[in-house]
């Protein structure tokens, strides 16, 4: 018993700093985890969790979520907790990777960068597959390092198993696999062994069983999607987002981009001076720069898949490279650099928890501050009468309102302008029983019509479809009242006396 206590005491003495940091990183990931209402993408997660095989996305995360919700239910906290756990474990293995390829100092700072990054907090608190694929990617890369430095087959078996989990979690994992394979060919040169290549054949064979579903999604996106072609500034924005997330102050983004360039130059200068770290830098470069470059070139040449949230998978190697570059600086400059990064990341964390975003859409493409939808549903529940109809003009609020009002509100409609593409898929909208073009609205049977106009942002700005429908209904119907509820406009209409019922 005394020996065990002594060992625990020695362990705590040697590792108190990283244990304290890990505690902080975990606590901020679960802080207010269930405090925000579900947003549009998370409503999709609820559906996928119910039927994990009935969609063309990689299914493994949805299977996990399916089993999880059977045990813990569908609350905001429950649905998001797996993401928080996966993201936290990724921080742990960034630290472990850093110790293996660099040293403890570099590992701690890299863990701090990812642990405090508002970008990672965002997806640690969102019920989507990004943190899950991040974990499988980070852990598989750690296993790859161990396998390359060991003769034990178990490391390669573990690498293949967790890589299969990764590729069945998100298709972007394929870019990481090819980058890992490229690194093996680069680092091993003429010493490549069968045990180093066979796992990749197993992984690709395992993925081939789901190839048809992957190709369905690939061809669909190839025929038109909402993600715009990335500009030449896109990689620089990605670097800045990895540090600040979507919540930094505008003045901080160019500073972080400049700091990233200088730190990378510091790392390369250290290599040229024989400072060591060459193989580790090559490892990070292959697993970060190579896939990022491939995705960027593909998106410029063919159709765009360049979306920062999907690039989260490659961020651990950015943090390791960045941390190495910081510790290649002189002591005084290094201290200032570390202090500055901590100030920048902590300020972004503050604005993240305050639901503040300052930059334009280029910096947070496809990601928006989560709108409170429950107050809107409660307002409608109290005020909508039996013969009234409720309609929306933007998907951002419609999906969550359907979920939160599923037992309280009548079937919700969607009004659209046939000339305007759908804002969530970039396709022309098809009419059906509940999706109605604006020029047919006046023919519906209702006493009052409650129309919720909104955009994707929480600031009250409206998208093109909402503005068009608002203009059309303003001419066709009589406006009885209007309300503003957390960035969504509620307009109440009646038919004009000449229209009757």
Of the pLDDT bands very low, low, confident and very high (cuts 50, 70, 90), residue 12 is low
Q: Which residues contact 123 (CB under 8 A, 6 or more apart)?
A: 83, 87, 130, 131, 134, 309, 312
- pLDDT value of position 384: 95
Q: Is 451 exposed, middle or buried (0-12, 13-18, 19+ CB in 10 A)?
A: buried
Res 13: pLDDT: 64
Backbone angles phi, psi at 357, to 5 degrees: -130, 135
Whole-number Å distance between alpha carbons of 389 and 181: 57
Q: Which of 81-95, 264-278, 300-314 has the lowest mean pLDDT?
A: 264-278
Evaluate if residue 200 carries a pLDDT over 90.
yes
Query: How many angstroms separate the CA atoms of 232 and 333, rounded?
Result: 30
Q: 3-state DSSP call for residue 247? A: coil
Q: Would the pLDDT of 395 be above 80?
A: yes
Our CA dihedral for 72, 59, 130, 75, rounded to 10 degrees, sits at: -20
Give me the pLDDT at residue 442, please. Answer: 87
For position 6, what pLDDT does the model report?
Answer: 63
Distance, in Å, from the CA atom of 416 to the CA atom of 465, rounded to the nearest integer, reads 6
- Contact of 413 with 436, CB cutoff 8 Å: yes
pLDDT confidence of residue 498 = 60
> pTM score, two decimals?
0.94
- pLDDT grade for 141, boundaries at 50, 70 and 90: very high
Q: Helix/strand/coil (H, E, C) string of 440-466?
A: HHHHCCCCCEEEEECCCCCCCCCCHHH
Output b/e per residue, 393-422; b: 16+ Cβ within 10 A: bbbbbbbbbbbbbeeebeebbbbbbeebbb
Q: Is the pLDDT of residue 7 over 80?
A: no
Name the CA dihedral angle for 82, 352, 288, 207, rounded to a multiple of 10 degrees: 30
Measured in residues, the chain has a length of 501
79 CB-near residues (< 8 Å, 6+ apart): 38, 42, 45, 46, 49, 65, 68, 69, 127
pLDDT at position 496: 75
19 pLDDT higher than 70: yes
> What CA–CA distance (Å, rounded) separates 406 from 394?
18
Instruction: Quote the CA–CA distance of 286 and 296 in Å, as a whole number.
Output: 15
What confidence tens digit (pLDDT) does each residue in 455-501 have?
998 888 999 999 999 999 999 999 999 999 988 999 999 987 665 55
Give the percent of the chain with pLDDT over 90.
Answer: 80
Sign of CA dihedral 322, 96, 312, 335: negative
Confidence at residue 53, expressed as pLDDT on a 0 to 100 scale: 82
Label residue 267 by pLDDT band (50, 70, 90): confident
H helix or E strand, kind and range, residue 103: none
Closest listed residue to residue 23, CA positions, set 33, 31, 13:
31
- Beta strands 449-453 and 488-494, pairing class: antiparallel
**pLDDT tens, 43-86?**
999 999 988 887 788 999 999 999 999 999 999 999 999 999 99
Which pLDDT tens digit goes with each residue over 98-137? 999 999 999 999 999 999 999 999 999 999 999 999 999 9
Sorted by sequence, the CB contacts under 8 Å of residue 16 that are 6+ apart come out as: none
Confidence (pLDDT) at 26: 98
- Domain ranges across the chain: 15-363, 374-494
- The DSSP code for 239 is H
Q: How confident is the model at residue 151 (pLDDT cuts 50, 70, 90)?
A: confident
pLDDT band at 29 (very low <50, low <70, confident <90, very high): very high
Residue 377, token pair as written in the block: 């549903």
Q: What is the pLDDT of residue 2?
A: 65
What pLDDT, in 10s, does the model give residues 288-329?
Answer: 999 999 999 999 999 999 999 999 999 999 999 999 999 999
pLDDT at 166 > cutoff 60: yes
Asked whether the predicted pLDDT for residue 438 surpasses 70, the reply is yes
Q: Do residues 397 and 371 touch, judged by C-beta distance below 8 A?
A: yes
pLDDT at 4: 65
Which pLDDT band, with edges at 50, 70 and 90, does 353 fall under?
A: very high
Torsion angle defined by CA atoms of residues 454, 456, 460 and 463, in that order, rounded to the nearest 10 degrees: -60
Residue 436's DSSP bridge partners are 415
Res 3: pLDDT: 64
Cα–Cα distance measured from residue 389 to residue 45, given in angstroms and rounded to the nearest whole number: 27
DSSP letter, residue 155: H
Calculate the average pLDDT of the chain: 92
**Distance between CA atoms of residues 482 and 233, nearest Å:** 41
Q: Which ranges constitute the DSSP H helices of 125-273? A: 130-148, 153-167, 173-188, 194-208, 211-222, 234-244, 252-272
3-class state of residue 414 by DSSP: strand
pLDDT more than 70, % of the chain: 95
């Amino acid at each position: 018993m005394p020996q065990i206590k002594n060992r625990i005491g020695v362990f705590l003495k040697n590792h108190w700093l990283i244990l304290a940091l890990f505690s902080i990183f975990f606590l901020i990931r679960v802080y207010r985890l269930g405090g925000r209402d579900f947003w549009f993408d998370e409503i999709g997660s609820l559906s996928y969790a119910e039927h994990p095989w009935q969609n063309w996305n990689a299914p493994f995360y949805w299977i996990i979520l399916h089993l999880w919700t059977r045990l813990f239910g569908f609350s905001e906290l429950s649905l998001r907790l797996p993401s928080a756990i996966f993201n936290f474990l990724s921080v742990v293995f960034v630290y472990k990777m850093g110790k293996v390829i660099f040293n403890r100092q570099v590992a701690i700072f890299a863990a701090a960068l990812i642990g405090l990054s508002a970008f990672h907090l965002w997806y640690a608190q969102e019920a989507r597959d990004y943190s899950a694929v991040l974990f499988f990617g980070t852990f598989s890369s750690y296993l790859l390092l161990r396998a390359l430095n060991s003769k034990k087959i178990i490391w390669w078996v573990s690498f293949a198993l967790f890589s299969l989990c990764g590729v069945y979690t998100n298709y972007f994992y394929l870019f990481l696999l090819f980058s890992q394979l490229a690194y093996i060919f680069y680092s091993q040169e003429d010493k490549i062994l069968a045990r180093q290549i066979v796992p990749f054949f197993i992984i690709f064979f395992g993925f081939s069983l789901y190839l048809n579903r992957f190709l369905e999604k690939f061809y669909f996106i190839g025929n038109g999607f909402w993600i715009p072609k990335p500009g030449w500034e896109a990689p620089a924005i990605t670097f800045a987002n990895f540090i600040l997330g979507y919540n930094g102050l505008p003045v901080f983004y160019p500073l972080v981009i400049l700091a990233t360039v200088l730190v990378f130059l510091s790392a390369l200068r250290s290599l040229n001076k024989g400072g060591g770290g060459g193989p580790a830098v090559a490892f990070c470069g292959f697993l970060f720069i190579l896939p990022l470059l491939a995705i960027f070139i593909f998106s410029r040449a063919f159709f765009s898949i360049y979306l920062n949230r999907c690039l989260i998978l490659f961020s651990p190697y950015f943090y390791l490279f960045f941390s190495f570059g910081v510790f290649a600086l002189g002591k005084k400059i290094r201290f200032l650099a570390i202090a500055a990064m901590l100030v920048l990341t902590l300020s972004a964390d503050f604005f993240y928890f305050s639901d503040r975003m300052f930059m334009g859409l280029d910096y947070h493409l496809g990601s928006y501050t989560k709108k409170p939808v429950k107050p809107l549903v409660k307002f409608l529940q109290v005020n909508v009468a039996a013969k009234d109809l409720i309609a929306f003009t933007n998907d951002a609020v419609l999906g969550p309102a359907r979920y939160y009002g599923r037992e309280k509100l009548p079937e919700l409609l969607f009004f659209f302008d046939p000339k305007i593409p759908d804002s969530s898929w970039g396709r022309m909208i098809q009419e059906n029983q509940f999706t109605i073009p604006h020029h047919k609205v006046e023919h519906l049977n209702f006493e009052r019509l409650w129309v919720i106009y909104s955009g994707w942002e929480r600031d009250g700005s409206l998208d093109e479809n909402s503005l068009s429908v608002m203009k059309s209904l303003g001419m066709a119907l009589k406006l009885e009242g209007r309300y503003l509820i957390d960035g969504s406009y509620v307009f109440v209409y009646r038919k004009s006396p000449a229209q009757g019922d």
